[in-house]
Chains A and B, each alone.
Chain A
Amino acid sequence: MTSDYSSDQAIVRLDGVHKSYGDPVALNGVSLGIRAGEAVAVMGPSGCGKSTLLNMIAGLDRPTSGTVTVHGEDLGELNETGLALFRRRRIGMIFQFFNLVDDLPALDNVALAAQLTGAPTSQARKRALELLDELGVAEQRDSYPATLSGGQRQRVAVARALMNRPVLLLADEPTGALDSRSGEQVMDLLIDLNQMGQTLLMVTHDPRLARRCASRLIEFADGRVVRESTLERAA
């Protein structure tokens, strides 16, 4: 780990983070940093703790020991409500599955993120529509998740993650459930976002995709960082 990442340019900093669920140790002393504007890919075998890492950074779970600081906030000092407000303002998340509320159409799914903050519905819908348009799914605004293709669903999910202009976008195997063509389209989307300045941390199984869109690769095994490398982007 280079000294760059412990400096205060870091948007995310983990120091000696351990997380165990009783017997299985998910994270075993992880320290790392992510600077603003970076696109970082995390790779590693299944069960090595990648999702746990993302959950720690999003404040969805708390470390057994160690500290997680995001955008200057020590997450350990926030209560549940504080964490929710933190996620609302700072984090956008995309998962492999289960990204959308089944009984809301695409537009409302995206607007939801702003509405929870108390933003007026008209304003929230307006911005949601702009995002859907930017991501090429404006036509699907009134469709329900069940009627969308996997790729469309994931685009809607990205739109929703971007709704509150997060400082950090977290993606946990965003293409894992997609066919390769849709997967690539979603990846292109993420690359574009990153090039516009969006800080990005994603977990993927596909080394080709990682190489294409990440500027740095972190390899994980058994809850530890085993290798870090800077990448020349392929595209």
Chain B
Amino acid sequence: MSAVWRASRAAVRRRKLQTTIIGVVVLLSTATITIALALLAAAAAPFDDAFSQQSGAHVVATFDSSKVSDVRLAQTAHRQGVRAAAGPFGEAVVVVPDGTPGIAAGPLTVVGRSGSDSPVDHLNLWAGRWPTGPGEIVLNSRPSGRGASFPPEFMVPLPGGSKLRVVGFASSVSQSAGAWVTPDQLAGLHPQSVQMLYRFADPGTDQSISAGLATATAGLPSDALTGSQSYLALKKAVAGQTDAYVPFLMTFGVLGLVVAVLIVANVVSGAVVSGFRHIGVLKALGFTPNQVAAVYVLMISVPAVVGCLIGIVLGNVLARPLLFGVFQGLGVESVSVSLWVDVVALLGMPAVVALAALGPAMRAHRLSAAEAISAGGAPRVGRALGVQRRLGATRLPRSVSLGLGLPFARPARTVLTMAAIVLGVAAVALASGLTSTMTAYGNAEELNGAYQVEVTVGGHRPDRPAPTLSDTDTQALLRSLGAVRVTADAWQNVKFTGSTQGLNGQFLRGDSASLNYTMVKGHWLDGPGQLVVSGAFLRQRGLAVGDQVRLDLGAKEVPVTIVGQLMAYDPDGVLSNWDTLMELAPGQRASHYMVQLAPGADADAFVTAFQKASGPGLYPAKHANELNQATLTIVSFATLFTLMLAAVAALGVFNTVVLTTHERRRNLGMLKSIGMTPRQVTVMMVTSMAALGAVGGLIGLPLGVLAHRLVVPAMVRAAGIDLPASMLHVWHAPLLALLAFAGLVIAILGALIPARSAARLTIAQVLHNE
């Protein structure tokens, strides 16, 4: 074995360039795959981790306390199929008035519990403490930097003038309540409902959850159960944000893997072919065929393992900002790359490389010593003959026609090199298509261009005082300063009658159609009592356009009809008209104005003028045309992956030119001796690869378009978005023409350096060494 080891070490040292290429190719591929796997792994993790840590409730069930006694409810914990239960806990709804600092206005579901510990829905009390007596409350909030400025000076006002002081923040993965107080305090809020939290033996599907709940509540008065909330719906909402990345990452991950295998196979077989003489010498020295094969596999493994290790480190470093970008919205404190990802990459990549090396190594295994020594690495002629000859008859400059003939001398290598270019171009095309689609989507989602200035109303945070100017006066001021159109809105938490889950209501006033929300079904708000929501909203709740529901704001209820489905919107959000808000909460003022200026008007000047005239409590800002985090994340990572893949493909070309130069050095020497200039040599070598690049580009482009057609709808489905078909039609002639050149660019970039060193090759050296 030590002879094998010594021989491969010597081989590695002699082939510094090829060793480096293998190392870099494996490095870049490993990094790509590590990032892809890290995201795949992380996509499932945050919710599942939190859910198992907190023993989340599979179902949060709400009962009418006048219909069923606490004793009977407590007995449901022992029903068949119920593995654990908590409750009954009293439940009341407090309506938080508009303008309460630190707490969103609207209905707040308050539950009475004696502590955060519980066999089901164990709360994460991440700041402050649990209420110890009356007058204290803990808010449900996702962990955030807010813990640092604790204790907050927040108060929850109660009807009748008393207040509850916020003494802590807790988070519930089950979203079982908006806030908690002691059971004694809850009694003072006159609860009419109680909740039970269940964990079932079989929580796999919607059906098994319904069945579990039916068994648990069997025998109770039929109208006792007023609402229930399954953890699967919560999970779907969380996963929807990250699942969107999966098809995208899978595609790039697989592309990266295939390109890496192609290049490694090409590099390794090239090393074997150009090492024929070396193999002959080894065999003549008495190495057995197995030992020769082992030398070659080892020779490849050394750079592969080193490249793999650095690639994993690079992948971990790059994955972190990506994971942060993806999971930012979940309120997860930190997401790290799962250990198994690194383990898989560490074991998998070298295995793949070794597999790619096996074929050529077996060839080295079979070769007889004499054959190997005499083969000397000369390319086989034959298939190439006719081609070179026909090319010689064309009017092309001779260096160009010679170059065009080169790929035919080594068809297998040509196919491998071209396949890498094809995939590189496909990646470039896919990334361009994704970028166009995502940008169109992002622009539509952010309502870019719909308005130029927005004004936010203070009074919701201690550091932002309430305005002195009234709603009407603000609107008038905006108009007097030159606003062409003002659309205002207010946010108000509401819920559907019979559900504990809060909904983010947005109510629009003015010409809201001008905001250009993209609709995929139904129509935009055009009258009172209407609602538009996202597709995700409908799917999670089993609703459809045309359905009637009742909006509930504690004291008031309004019947509304869902008239349209938006392309993208908060999955817990509902959009409605100002009339609806005025029925639910009469007299509420707008909290936000969206101002459309005349074309060409100076938004900065408008902001300054408004600031001067409006007095305190109103915060104007330019509405920048920005893209949201998800769009930016996908676009920047598509770009990063594409650059990596294109670099790897270019390295494949680089390697091919190095090998060709090495094998054809005598021919090169001869061509130079008859007066081929260095430039003609460069042109010849670059042309040989440019031809592959051009053809590879033409094959890769439709593949990339196809991948875009498959990946985008899959992402869209996973994200629960509804994309208008127009956003898939991004392939315009100029873009296609540009992309068709991508293969050419990859080939030329990869070929240029080795082609120039072929041009500088000293002929005397070549002739001498023969």
Contact = CB atoms under 8 A, between A and B. Distances in A.
Interface of A: 51-52, 55, 58, 60-61, 80-81, 84-89, 91, 93, 95, 97-105, 108, 111-113, 115-118, 120-121, 144, 146, 160-161, 163-164
Contacts of A105: 385, 389
Contacts of A111: 392
Interface string B139-151: 0000000000000
Q: Which of A87, A102, A160 has the most CB of B within 10 A?
A: A102
A88 B397 contact: no
Contact of B398 (A84, A91, A95, A112): A112
Which 6 A-B residue pairs are closest in the complex by CB-CB distance?
A88-B675, A61-B764, A115-B398, A84-B677, A98-B666, A87-B675
B666 A104 contact: no
B551 to A, nearest CB: 80
B669 interface: yes
A164 B675 contact: yes
Contacts of B676: 84, 116
Contacts of B625: none
B770 A84 contact: no
A113 B676 CA distance: 8
Contact of B678 (A60, A80, A108, A117): A80
Nearest to B666: A98
A103 B405 contact: yes
Contact of B767 (A81, A95, A144): A95
B770 A97 contact: yes
Nearest to A114: B398
Given A112-B398, A121-B393, A60 B673 contact: yes
B182 to A, nearest CB: 91
Q: Which of B389, B395, B673, B768 has the most CB of A within 10 A?
A: B673
Nearest to A115: B398
Q: Which of B384, B764, B768 has the most CB of A within 10 A?
A: B764
Contacts of B760: 80
Interface residues of B, number: 38
Q: Which of A86, A97, A116 has the most CB of B within 10 A?
A: A116
Contacts of B385: 103, 105, 144
Given A84-B678, A144-B385, A146-B381, A101 B673 contact: no
B764 A112 contact: no
Given A55-B764, A61-B762, A101 B667 contact: yes
B763 A88 contact: no
Nearest to A101: B667
A61 B352 CA distance: 45
Contacts of B763: 55, 60-61
B679 interface: yes
Given A55-B764, A95-B767, A98-B770, A85 B675 contact: yes
A121 B389 CA distance: 12
A111 B389 CA distance: 11
11 contacts: A55-B763, A60-B767, A91-B675, A93-B674, A98-B670, A100-B670, A108-B392, A116-B671, A116-B675, A120-B395, A121-B395
Given A61-B762, A101-B667, 8 more contacts: A60-B672, A81-B678, A102-B378, A104-B389, A113-B674, A116-B399, A121-B395, A164-B675
Given A81-B679, A146-B381, A88 B674 contact: yes
A87 B673 contact: yes
A134 B384 CA distance: 29
B405 A116 contact: no
B78 to A, nearest CB: 87
Contacts of B384: 103
A84 B85 CA distance: 90
Given A121-B393, A144-B385, A51 B767 contact: yes
Contact of A103 (B388, B677, B762): B388
Contact of B394 (A91, A98, A121): A121
A113 B675 contact: yes
Nearest to A100: B670
Contact of B381 (A93, A98, A144): A144
B102 to A, nearest CB: 77
A164 B398 CA distance: 16
Contacts of B768: 51
Contacts of A87: 672-675
Nearest to B399: A116
A17 B673 CA distance: 21
Contacts of A93: 673-674
